[in-house]
Amino acid sequence: MSSEQSIPGEPAILTTTVGSYPVPDWLASLPSEQAVVDATRVIFDTQRQAGIDLPTDGELYRFDINHPDTNGMIDYFVKKLGGATPQVSRSDSEAYTKKSEMGFRAKPAAIVNSALTEGGLNLLDDCVRAKNVAGGPFKFTVTSPYMLARTLLDNHYGDLESLTLAIADLLADQVRGLPTACLQVDEANIPGSPEHAPLAGEAINRVLDAFDGPGAVHFCFGNYGGQTIQAGKWKPLLEFLNGLHADHLVLELAHRPEDDLAALAEIDPNIGIGLGAVDIKVNHVETADEIAASIEKAEKKLGAGRVKYVHPDCGFWMLKRSVADRKIAALAKGRDIYLG
């Protein structure tokens, strides 16, 4: 990997964002390929000027104005796959509603009717677009195979494991050779379904292993229109987290109970911990001192030097730019205060 796309070696705690950023009004009003490029450049520059060491591209090209309750981390992927169709019949909807764990979603993202292929999915083009305007190292994100599988109605594979691993192999092919400093896999379903942790872990590792560089895994408890959609805690997932082939974890913690942080002391010391210190489900803008205090509390519980990244709990897509911009500025200032 070129030095242009290497994670910065300092400071000791890096600032990063999780993925999505608010879509500029002018992009939503008049979308075009050039507008996406220009907006991506703006989002990168906004993050770098605020002090974000490892920014993301904002995932602006994944936003679907017809599905505003989510930023496209599901639909963008599955609607491009061959072997699946986004056309959902009444019987499809009725069959999907019987999957009680997906009750927050009214209908499946797509119906799988035959063996999946990459179809029109082209993550290399997406990543190159970002690299060309990134202005330095950046992180590229993909949705977890397990999370994608859970949103589909499967009429072909016959079981969740076969479907999940088929998606994992497709994504593994997609991430090979991506020109990015870090690949992040996003998973928001497994915290509420720890019984599926072995399957999710195998699928995520297939994707991480295919990328020639450091990988991260982001876990949260859901952010669907600002709602938490998964119940659960970190402690039941410790074995799963320690089995991931990840350089670091990106964890929702600002919006979580105190005992969740303490449980993470058992994370393998070879895996860096990313601390969620900005709550993206509220408009309140944290102060720099609040961010510094969150880092201090985390390191007291986890041990000095265990926190490698500080970031928002999740993506910013649902907030206004004026709020998101101030939150990341506070994030970077708070990190600087803590490090002195």
Mean pLDDT of 39-54: 98
Instruction: Out of 99-103, 248-252, 263-267, 319-323, pick the least confident.
Output: 99-103
Which tens digit of pLDDT belongs to each residue from 311-337?
999 999 889 999 999 999 999 999 999
The class that CATH gives domain 3-339 is alpha beta
pLDDT at 97: 82
| For residue 229, pLDDT beyond 50 | no
Spatial distance between the Cα atoms of 251 and 326, rounded to a whole number of angstroms: 21
pLDDT at 98: 78
Q: pTM for the complete prediction?
A: 0.93
Which tens digit of pLDDT belongs to each residue from 261-308?
888 999 999 999 999 999 998 999 999 999 999 999 999 999 999 999
pLDDT at 37: 97
CA distances to 17, 18, 156, 295 from 309, rounded to whole Å, are 10, 11, 41, 10
Domain map (residue ranges) of the chain = 3-339
Answer whether 260's CB lies under 8 Å from 220's CB.
no
CA-nearest of 242, 298, 234, 230 to 263 is: 234
